[in-house]
Amino acid sequence: MRFWGALLSAMLLLAIGSLWVYSSYEDRVGSAGPFFLHPVERQGNVTYMPYVHIHTPTSSLVEASCDGSGVVEAYDVITGEVVDNHTVSGHARYQFVLPREGDYLVINNGTSKLTCSFRFIKNYPTEAVQNSIYISGSAFALLLALVVWRWSK
């Protein structure tokens, strides 16, 4: 019974320690840019699409600062989904979330040139990692409570 109590306590501390690891780099900021984003050019059935490649090691809150006129779109390279879409006219500063670790493409889907820079202001564990930590921590806590309750009888 003591073995199970010690094992479950260690596993619970491991789950809590995992949250601490993420909190240690939450406020580490990074940046990308400034980048000159030329608009997407379409001529017949040929499309020239200049893009910027951004990589993040985790889910991140990003602050974008853009000057010019256009439509800034961010795409997830793996899924091809649009993660963010903002129309810029003059100067714009806005925030968006990159939902998972990986690579993203940023394009200007407007008609004029843009200059943009991106600053990663918060880093978070992805939703899948958060869910696994919370579920495993809860399960270990419940099992530990059961072992302690049975041990006290």
pLDDT at position 44: 80
Q: Is-contact 3 23, C-beta < 8 A? A: no
Instruction: For the chain, list the domains and their CATH numbers.
Output: 2-152 (2.60.120)
Sign of CA dihedral 82, 29, 103, 114: positive
pLDDT tens digits, 84-133: 999 988 899 999 988 888 899 998 888 888 899 999 888 777 677 677 77
What confidence category does residue 152 fall into, taking pLDDT thresholds of 50, 70 and 90?
low
Q: What angle separates helix 2-24 from helix 127-152, to the nearest 10 degrees?
A: 150
The pTM is what?
A: 0.66
pLDDT tens digits, 25-74: 655 667 777 888 888 888 888 777 788 888 887 788 899 999 998 899 99
Angstrom CA distances, 68 to 2, 48, 108, 135, 141, stand at 66, 20, 11, 46, 54
Residue in 52, 60, 57 with CA at minimum distance from that of residue 99: 60
